[in-house]
Structure 1
């Protein structure tokens, strides 16, 4: 065997011995609901039309530890027989058919096992269970963290460990889990790029887009903080999909969710 062949063999062997970055991705049921009037998310279209919504969380097993994206509707809603009704009837009435705690337990994952977590933004259907993980590092945009809540209340407990981002973030430094800054829905909204060894690249939308037709028609919800930023963020996601031949998983889109494998099944 030549020296070059030996070198090539060594390189291949080294690559095979290295653990992949992301090993598995689980989609967790973090809420199911009915949106009263989806023209709220697509102004001028679908007036008065209701739609079933879902709310996903994503648990990712990385070689360096567990990572959770979004925490969904608060588990306490599971005990509400009629669900959690919104103040605005056009918005979403949420139910919690499975708790986040029970789904983690089914996988043998304790809250203390999480190495890191992030939320797409700070609306209640995405941060409902953040404090189930009081010691887990939370990645959130500085603009989101400092965005005043109701009555200027803080959006997170001040003692919760946090890394305040100002833009994109490669969580584990290997390009396999990357936060994309996609503002517009809220001041510090972010989406997530996950590179799976077999499935390929997936972009988790957060609420950069709410359902398929909303994406296709570039509909900007009336309650978004910036239409201009929203459209720019949608374009950024579209460019990522094209460049990386990635899939877009739209967080609240039930029709799409129903085609995907739910935990305890997983994507690798």
Structure 2
């Protein structure tokens, strides 16, 4: 009896080893320009007064992910109404938009109704500004952020995400990490601290390998390198833990790190309208 059992197990193992692997669903990643931010008072990004008297131009980045025939947006940038807005050099922080998401998608032949999912790193206005252009998409957002939006907590606005907050459109509040497509290719990473439900995104590409999109775990390289915490983060201890986890993932996965607000990281991905794959 034992011999028969061992023989059956051996045959099963051999079949598993020799069977053709299931073909992976092709995944591609494209960076979209979602605006420019003038941080005229850069010290807002430090609760230790690290950047007194400094300023920096930052970028607002969004990302298009193609998983087989499905399209997902990661973040939706500054509001479309800011298109062409002059930047006020005297404001502590100001922003403008050159081209809307819908315009950029049209340039690559994609209609708003083809976007099936929107993943949101967090509830700040420069990451949710153009979400309403895709009311048919399912919204993926950290549960902590979703709850804060529903409660109307300070620093939140329901308006850009109104169809999902009021239940008109489908939403998926995400607790912890989430394997978006169920195959390990795209994972929302639980990185709270900047906001209660803040997430980053891990994308695995066949050619380029692992790519880590930061959300706002850090806003620029100096901030990232020094584990800097902006004074407006909702939880300092969680922020430090999140950036520690993010750096650990980057090291262990040998990932390309894209700090979404740092213009110097844009060149790590092909220029629009080209795909990374």
**Count of aligned pairs:** 257
CA distance in 2, matches of 1:151, 1:10: 56
Which of residues 154, 157, 181 in structure 1 aligns to 2:158? 154
- Kindly indicate whether residue 35 of structure 2 is the aligned counterpart of residue 27 of structure 1: no
Q: Measure the CA separation in 1 of the matches of 2:76 and 2:198.
A: 15
2:53 to 38, 48, 51: 48
After superposition, residues 2-151 of structure 1 pair within 5 angstroms as 11-12=19-20, 14-15=21-22, 18=23, 20-42=24-46, 43-63=48-68, 65-80=70-85, 82-83=86-87, 89-91=91-93, 93-147=94-148, 148-150=152-154
Q: State TM-score, norm by structure 2.
A: 0.86
Whether contact under 8 Å (1:29, 1:262) holds in the other structure is: no
What is the match of residue 198 of structure 2? 189
| Alpha-carbon distance, 1:169 to partner | 0.6
Q: 1:26 touches 1:267 (CA, 8 Å); kept in 2?
A: yes
Q: 2:224 aligns with which of 196, 215, 228?
A: 215
Q: Using the alignment, how far apart are the partners of 2:136 and 2:92 within structure 1?
A: 36
Measured after TM superposition, the shift of residue 10 of structure 1 is 6.1
1:265 aligns with 2:274: yes
1:244 deviation in Å? Answer: 1.1
Long gaps (5+) in structure 1 = none
Q: Distance in 2 between matches of 1:103 and 1:149?
A: 33
RCO higher in structure (CA 8 A, sep ≥6): 1
The whole-number CA distance in structure 1 between the counterparts of 2:107 and 2:158 is 32
Q: Is the 8 A contact 2:72 2:118 kept in 1?
A: yes
Q: Is the 8 Å Cα contact of residues 116 and 136 (structure 2) preserved in structure 1?
A: no
Q: CA deviation at 1:195?
A: 0.3
The separation in 2 between residues aligned to 1:108 and 1:214, in whole angstroms, is 37
Change (3 A) 1:122 1:152: closer
4+ residue segments displaced more than 3 Å: 6-12, 149-155
SS in 2 for 1:146: helix
What's the CA shift string for 1:146-174, capped at 9, x where partnerless?
Answer: 11245975362112310111111101000
- RMSD over aligned Cα atoms: 2.3
Could you say which residue in structure 2 is the equivalent of 1:239? 248
TM-score (norm 1): 0.88
Equivalent residues in 2 for 1:222-233, closer than 5 Å: 222-233=231-242
